[in-house]
Structure 1
Amino acid sequence: MAQSDQGKNQLDSNEKRDARRREAPSAAVVYEAIRAEAESELERPLAGLGWSGLAAGLSMGFSLLAQALLHSYTPEASWTPIISSFGYSIGFLFVILGRQQLFTENTLTPVLEVLRVRRWPVVRGTLALWGVVLLANMVGVAIFAMALAGFDVLDPKIDAALKTLAGREYGHPFGTMFVRAIFAGWLVALMLWLMPFAESARVGVIILVTYVIGLAHFPHIIAGSVAALYAVFTGSEGIVAFFANFFAPTLLGNMVGGIMMVAAVNYAQVAYSTHGDAAASDD
């Protein structure tokens, strides 16, 4: 009788394959998927990266635009940011689903390859990639912010909302901006760590994570630069204030959050697991 029950509980080969497909991928599998993407990014021509980065900068402008629209058409109340912050996700959806190059995305993936290879050509390629993508992203957001500030793109009611949102990017000390930016870089990098196997949930993951960043007002170097530069182009803030009070602390914080909190930590997790498995197999 026991043997009969055991036979019923055994799975055939098709059922075993189906069970394996339903397993959550291990950290090593996720790491390898992201590392392979980083390798392909480092092999892309810089000109292609630049055009993709420009497209990403322009696309990120719609995060500010969508927030302003939701802010304008939502009744003024304490819960208004709960609604308007959903607009923050729009630019990230365009960029990530459109496979455009965003600077904070590239603080995660190439670092994994740098940590694996540890050779100067890879480091040099990563620095070149960062420089090109950051510059292209900033050119894109500057064009978008200049267009909003210099032309009658929206009606005056929405322009007022734009000025309100732009003012939120200033007013914090350097140290506070730096720490808050760490959380933004951390969350973006975590989102990208989830993307390879999110499958049909990709849109939900992007909206959920970026919504938290927008609602908490964690500064993001590209998305936030649209609003910060809008304040510069409308005369509310000066260019020195932009670089000293927003750009510098936000850039440093995003990089620390993306590199240290996710890329390095997740690499260490996978490396440690790999060494542990190797040691076990030697025993």
Structure 2
Amino acid sequence: MATEKTGKTPNLSDQEQHDVDKSQPPRAAVLHEIIRTEGDLELERSVAALWWSALAAGLTMGLSLMAMGLLNSRLPDTEGFKVIASFGYCAGFLAVILARQQLFTENTLTAVLPIMSNPTLNNFARLLRLWSVVLVGNLCGTLLVAYVMLNLPIFDTKTDLAFLDIGRKVMENSPWQMFAKGIVSGWMIATMVWMIPSMESAKIWIITLITYLMALGDFTHIVVGAAEVSYLVFAGELPWKDFWLIFAGPTLAGNIIGGSFIFALISHAQVRSDTQKPAAKTP
């Protein structure tokens, strides 16, 4: 007798069925719980622990500016080679995420899921505390590394000029463009954070793919961009007012909306809908 279309494959042993179950990707609810648990642990960390980890992340993110500048200064100035140079953007993200340092845009998803699961005033206060400490730490780190890269005799003139060109490219955007591109960037980082638990063995490739696409699309990111744009400020080409009003403010708002209010909210709603399905009626 033929097996029904909706039935299981016949004649599978217990071991074979176990292999089938093991090969299935985790459900969205499982990914949600992994990230929510991680976020809850981050919210419990002390201010000092968050601060030093965030400062280290800001310094490490300077690798993205450094790698792009080195590649741009050593490759021919054509559009095709710019595609290759964009791989430099991935360097800081790879180092920060693999080292498990505190990156603000990761926390627009990770630390938000516990609040969406249990939206109390205490949890909101914990989120604002984490966001404030991590953001300030990230920015202090990126500003420090940009200042050091400019003022210490580390790079040759051609590389220094490449760093300036990278910052100028970012500042070609209007505040509205900074905001809109920041939304896409925040959404992409949240997507990356959501994907990693289901494919830990491919973590490096996931980080590289997502951040490389961010570089190709010139999407704005508050932490990497802070290093790129502050380099212009320290070089005397840009006032601090433009750094905060044209770049930082709109980009930060876009990153938060893309990561928290779009990706995190939709992902949480999806899982919540799954868990609230009515139980099947017993005959």
Given the two structures, how large is their TM-score scaled by the length of structure 1?
A: 0.95
Could you tell me which runs of 5 or more consecutive residues in structure 1 were left unpaired when the two chains were aligned. Answer: none
Find runs of 4+ consecutive structure 1 residues off by over 4 angstroms: none
- How far off is 1:9 after superposition? 3.7
Q: 1:59 maps to which residue?
A: 60
Alignment of 1:60-209 (within 5 A): 60-209=61-210
The alignment partner of 2:134 has SS state of helix
Q: Partners in 2 of 1:273 and 1:256 — Cα distance?
A: 24
Deviates more, 1:124-133 or 1:8-17: 8-17
Q: Which residue of 1 aligns with 2:6?
A: none
Q: State the 1:62 CA deviation.
A: 0.4
C-alpha distance after superposition, 1:163-196 (max 9, x if no partner): 1001112132211111111000010110001011
Q: Distance in 2 between matches of 1:249 and 1:154?
A: 31
Partner of 1:28: 29
Instruction: Tell me the CA shift for residue 216 of structure 1.
Output: 0.9
- The Cα offsets for residues 92-143 of structure 1, whole Å up to 9 and x where unpaired, read as 0001000000000011011111011111111100000000000000110011
Alignment-mate amino acid for residue 34 of structure 2? A
> What is the alpha-carbon distance in structure 2 between the residues aligned to residue 2 and residue 89 of structure 1?
52
**Alpha-carbon distance, 1:2 to partner:** 8.2
Instruction: Determine if the alignment matches structure 1 residue 213 to structure 2 residue 204.
Output: no
> Which residue in the other structure is 1:259 paired with?
260
Q: Deviations over 1:218-264 (max 9, x none)?
A: 01000111010000000111100100110000000000000122110
The structural deviation recorded for 1:282 is 5.6
State the percentage of identical aligned residues. Answer: 40
Aligned residue pairs total 278
CA deviations on 1:45-71 (whole Å, 9 max, x unpaired) are: 111011100110000000000001111
User: In structure 1, how many angstroms separate the alpha carbons of the residues matched to 2:18 and 2:56?
Assistant: 41
Q: Which residue of 1 aligns with 2:276?
A: 275
Return the alpha-carbon distance in structure 1 between the equivalents of residues 27 and 128 of structure 2: 29
Q: Per-residue deviation at 1:21?
A: 1.1
**What letter matches 2:133 in structure 1?**
V
Return the TM-score normalized by structure 2.
Answer: 0.95
Unaligned runs of 5+ in 2: 4-8
Tell whether 2:6 aligns with 1:15. no
Structure 1, 168-177 or 9-18: larger mean CA deviation: 9-18
